[in-house]
Structure 1
Amino acid sequence: MAKKNVKTNVMRILDIEKINHKELSYPVSKDHVDGVSAALGLGKDPKSVYKTLVTQAASKAYYVFVIPVAENLNLKKAARACGEKNIEMIHVKDINKVTGYIRGGCSPIGMKKAYPTFVDQSAQNMEAITVSAGKVGYQVELSPQDLIDLIGGQYADLLA
């Protein structure tokens, strides 16, 4: 369960919108953890824990992709999903400037701006998925459809 007295902006948004969710936390090492380690720290199957990736197209538009932590984003499929010729991952140094979040704590909920967001189609068949709560060590579990509805996202085939 989430540590006492810790409410991230993501958690506040979910509360305000009255979206059913669970607040979760996991121990974070000094060396930082990867998504699979975070999933295991939560006692979750990595297939149900999703990471948030931010890209930029040649058109300079930003796009957000939410995929399982153990998987890789297929950039060609991602570009096709958003109607661009090609896209690239943004540099780690730009994550905070673009999203308001830091690496390892980037959530598809509550970014500085509402970027077009695509959730991998694998989430469609799941009762719940877990995404970052906007701070390293904290996650929220919610229905994938609630996430899609909240962020105005859509499902797409995104995996390599």
Structure 2
Amino acid sequence: MKIQKTNAMRILDKAAIPYDVHTYEHGEDAVDGLQVANLLHQDPNTVFKTLVCRANTKEYFVFVVPVAHELDLKKCAKAVRVKSIEMIHVKDITNLTGYVRGGCSPIGMKKQFTTCLHNSCLDIDTIIFSGGKIGLQIQMLPQAFIHLLNPIVADIVK
């Protein structure tokens, strides 16, 4: 079965960055990150979720963290040097990013927002994250992710 390219995959192809694609069966709704790791038979410490937040400055930021962890909003605000930060409403995800809930990739959003990647990525061989649609994940080297997006790498989880 041929997989239709997503924005994230096209950007990686254009940058000549190697990656693997993983797919999993799903219904109409988003699948939580731990389920995704389980469906892919992957260590949850290597599967990351993409979360979008809005700062008190009205700026948007993207946080990429292991699926089993929860954002620490105070640590997030400190990492991106703002006073406070909060998660955006689920209903705003598609208009803001171009992606749907459960299929939001940190690569290829409508606009490239400042991205912050959890520092545990430095201790693993590969990172897996949404490829831009529900049921599709991208696996690549954390160093390649960092080279492409130039994220802030910090401890941003509870």
Question: TM-score, normalized by length of structure 1?
Answer: 0.95
* Residue 154 of structure 1, CA deviation: 2.1
Q: State the distance in 2 between where 1:153 and 1:95 align.
A: 20
Q: State the distance in 2 between where 1:112 and 1:30 align.
A: 23
Task: Write the letter of the residue equivalent to 2:148.
Answer: L
Name the residue aligned to 1:142: 140
Task: Write the letter of the residue equivalent to 1:14.
Answer: L
Partner SS state of residue 132, structure 2 = coil
5+ residue gaps, structure 1: none
Name the residue aligned to 1:118: 116
Are the counterparts in 1 of residues 118 and 157 from structure 2 also a CA contact under 8 Å? yes
Identity %: 49
Name the residue aligned to 1:7: 5
Match of 1:77 among 60, 69, 75: 75
Question: TM-score, normalized by length of structure 2?
Answer: 0.96
CA RMSD in angstroms comes to: 1.1
Q: State the distance in 1 between where 2:155 and 2:140 align.
A: 20
Q: State the distance in 1 between where 2:7 and 2:41 align.
A: 24
* Residue 31 of structure 1, CA deviation: 4.5
**Aligned runs of 1:11-90 on 2, under 5 Å?**
11-90=9-88
Q: 1:5 to 1:120 in 2, by over 3 A?
A: closer
Task: Write the letter of the residue equivalent to 1:6.
Answer: Q
Task: Write the letter of the residue equivalent to 1:21.
Answer: Y
* Residue 144 of structure 1, CA deviation: 1.1
Q: 1:30 to 1:111 in 2, by over 3 A?
A: closer
Task: List per-residue Cα deviations over 1:57-98 (Å, max 9, x = no partner).
Answer: 011000110000111000000000000111000000100111
Q: 1:136 to 1:146 in 2, by over 3 A?
A: same
Report the more deviating stretch, 140-149 or 27-36. Answer: 27-36
Q: State the distance in 1 between where 2:120 and 2:145 align.
A: 14
5+ residue gaps, structure 2: none
Partner SS state of residue 121, structure 2 = helix
Dislocated runs of 4+, deviation >4 Å: none
Q: State the distance in 2 between where 1:31 and 1:114 align.
A: 25
Name the residue aligned to 1:97: 95
Partner SS state of residue 78, structure 2 = helix
Q: State the distance in 2 between where 1:46 and 1:13 align.
A: 25
* Residue 8 of structure 1, CA deviation: 1.4
Partner SS state of residue 94, structure 2 = helix
